Copies of this chain bind each other. A is one copy, B any other.
Amino acid sequence: MLSKNQLKYIQSLHQKKYRQQYGAFLVEGAKSVQEVLQSDFQIELVVATEAFYKENARLTDHQRTPVEIASVGDLERAGTLESNNAALAVVKTKENRPLLAEPGEIALILDDIRDPGNLGTILRIADWYGVRKILCSETTADVYNPKVISASKGSFTRVQWWYGNVVEVLNQKNTPLAVYGAFLGGEDVHTLAFSQSGYLVMGNESNGIRPEVAQFVTQRVTIPRYGDAESLNVGIATAVLLDNIRRVNAGQ
């Protein structure tokens, strides 16, 4: 049974302010909770229906994770999902450790990606294409937002992120790694020979990459258009760019 205080605490984690204050966030739904229980995240509490608990007891018992059994109604009251008949987990946030691309590695830089759904999708795409490091400008959506976690479909357990001043990172970088940036009027990604090391910068949904970041882009790249749509969604563009980067590498 969830106590009133537990319910209040969990509900407070819908808001960034309280996630930061308590250093915890929510993971919701059967699949995501199963994935986080098998990851290196530290779990504070699992709230589960009896059915979910019985089916997944080995995952919680193994780590001696505290579990509260709750009704579907209580689960939905506590969490943010419209329907959740399985479980939610209260999980400790990770330390905000600096990340840099190593030679032989592509890292993502997200410059002011505002939409949580887009950020979650980008985590999933990074995970598909084997990108493990995501550097986020402070204005990028909070990765611990329940919508981000949910849209990432479990990929939040397999990629790392850092929030901070990406301009400074690019300014201080003294390695000769490539910095690719998505722009209109850049080099055609179908013919460009991509390096296997460096950064791919994706910009804000409406305004693109900020000038202070753009000055560090060593190669502007563009997805060629064959029809008339004005633009592609930033998640779609990230996937197509990473596919082109990996494709070129595959041929080498």
A residues whose Cβ falls under 8 Å from a Cβ of B? 121, 124-132, 153-155, 158, 190-191, 223-233, 235-236, 239-240, 243-244, 246-247, 250-251
Interface of A is mostly: loop
- In the complex, what residues of B have CB within 8 A of residue A236's CB? 121, 125, 235-236, 239
Minimum CB distance partner of A127 in chain B: B229
Minimum CB distance partner of A123 in chain B: B229
Q: Are B190 and A232 in contact (CB under 8 A)?
A: no
Number of copies: 2
Identify 14 residue pairs between A and B in the complex whose beta-carbon atoms are under 8 Å apart, listed by A's number.
A121-B233, A125-B229, A126-B227, A130-B228, A153-B229, A155-B228, A155-B229, A158-B229, A190-B251, A226-B246, A235-B236, A239-B240, A243-B244, A244-B247
- In the complex, what residues of B have CB within 8 A of residue A223's CB? 243
* Nearest CB of B to A184, in Å: 13
How many Å lie between the Cα of A52 and that of B132 in the bound state?
45
- In the complex, what residues of B have CB within 8 A of residue A130's CB? 225-228
Q: Are A246 and B224 in contact (CB under 8 A)?
A: yes
Q: Are B243 and A128 in contact (CB under 8 A)?
A: no
Of the listed residues A127, A235, A236, A251, the one surrounded by the most CB atoms of chain B closer than 10 A to its CB is: A236
